[in-house]
Amino acid sequence: MSFPDSCLDIVTSTNKLKDTILCAKRQNKKIAFVPTMGSLHKGHLSLIRKSKSLGDISVVSIFVNPMQFGPGEDFTFYPRHEENDIKLLEDNAVDILYLPDNTTIYPENFQTEISVKKIENILCGKFRPSHFKGVATIVTKLLLQVLPDYAIFGEKDYQQLVLITQLVSDLNIPTSVVGCPTIREDDGLAFSSRNSLLNQDERNIAPNLYSELRSVQNLVKCGTNISYACKEATQNLMKIGFSSVDYIEVRDEKNLQKLDKAEPNARLFGAANIGNTRIIDNIPI
């Protein structure tokens, strides 16, 4: 088997994926992997470009993982645009699309969960109790199936990036985890598949999360108390039109421990809700 320059190989079974990956390994090809839930956008495309700069073979997976959605969350309504996604992957010269269905990933009698305890119960995990178990489980499965040399994740989901880095280290998975900067719209809103769920009024409000994080960043740099600055930003977001604010916090970007003052590794995290859509973001202090 060879890997032509401009042909997307769509793989749906684990056996076919195994054969394809082993063939690449025998040819000493480096594999770079971007796991996604589809509904691809410019943020994903930046990860794909990074994968192509790192590896000989670029692999993208699309799987909307039910295990990381809690009761009452938006699994049913999560955006799905498979035809458009395939066209984007072809246009960006991706080599392999892994497109499994639910029974391929979670066959009958599947029982295992992966837990990264200190990371999964803070920030987003506090408000989505089962979310990161689902993330850790699916990412572990995908890494063991794809066997990549590199796995690329966006910093927009920074807690996820830290969790996966810890998971790969703890389980001795021979993959280098690579983080890539958040890609933003012109008004500052971080690209996200869920942005398509916002109506026009909500879309107009959404960039204010980033604006308020920038305000906190500037205040803290000038010596303002972190707790005061975060509280003020929370109040501002509620006045602007967010329905609720889950958190605005400063954490150490290496281990996500909470900080009460600006330190070299300090990063500011925020999550807020508009209607039925949850917006998350983060920036370094």
Q: Which of 180, 204, 230 is the last residue of a domain?
A: 180
Radius of gyration of the chain (CA): 19
Q: 72 falls in which pLDDT band (50, 70, 90)? A: confident
How far apart CA 103 and CA 66 sit, in angstroms, is 11
Q: What is the mean pLDDT of residues 71-99?
A: 95
CATH number of the domain where residue 34 is located = 3.40.50.620
How far apart CA 51 and CA 228 sit, in angstroms, is 41
Predicted confidence at residue 259, as pLDDT, reads 96
Residues 95 and 124 in one domain: yes
Residues 94 and 207 in one domain: no
- Whether 138 is in a domain gets the answer yes
Instruction: Point out the catalytic residue in the list 41, 44, 81, 131.
Output: 44
Residues 175 and 199 in one domain: no
Q: Any idea of the CA torsion for 201, 203, 206, 208, to the nearest 10 degrees?
A: -70
- Whether 92 is in a domain gets the answer yes
Residues 32 and 171 in one domain: yes
CB atoms within 10 A of CB 120: 24
Containing domain of residue 104, as a range? 9-180
**What's phi and psi for 270, nearest 5 deg?**
-145, 145
Handedness of CA 165, 13, 66, 8 (dihedral sign): positive
Residues 206 and 248 in one domain: yes
CATH number of the domain where residue 200 is located = 3.30.1300.10
Q: What is the pLDDT of residues 99-145, one digit of tens each?
A: 999 999 999 999 999 999 999 999 999 999 999 999 999 999 999 99
- Whether 187 is in a domain gets the answer no
Q: Which of 128, 159, 180 is the last residue of a domain?
A: 180
Handedness of CA 145, 150, 152, 158 (dihedral sign): positive
How far apart CA 243 and CA 198 sit, in angstroms, is 13
How far apart CA 122 and CA 119 sit, in angstroms, is 6
Q: What is the pLDDT of residues 138-188, one digit of tens each?
A: 999 999 999 999 999 999 999 999 999 999 999 999 999 999 999 999 999
Q: What is the pLDDT of residues 26-47, one digit of tens each?
A: 999 999 999 999 999 999 999 9
Q: 1 falls in which pLDDT band (50, 70, 90)? A: low
Residues 270 and 217 in one domain: yes
- Whether 3 is in a domain gets the answer no
- Whether 2 is in a domain gets the answer no
Q: What is the mean pLDDT of residues 237-265?
A: 96
Task: Return the H-helix or E-strand segment holding 177.
Answer: strand 176-180
Q: Residue 5 above 80 pLDDT?
A: no
Residue 182 carries which DSSP code?
Answer: P
Predicted confidence at residue 6, as pLDDT, reads 56
Residues 143 and 268 in one domain: no
How far apart CA 89 and CA 163 sit, in angstroms, is 27
Residue 96 carries which DSSP code?
Answer: E
What is the total count of domains within the chain? 2
Q: Which of 180, 204, 238 is the last residue of a domain?
A: 180
Assess whether 44 carries a catalytic annotation: yes
What mean pLDDT, rounded, does the chain reach? 96
Query: Residue 33 in 3-state DSSP?
Result: strand
- Whether 264 is in a domain gets the answer yes
Predicted confidence at residue 2, as pLDDT, reads 53
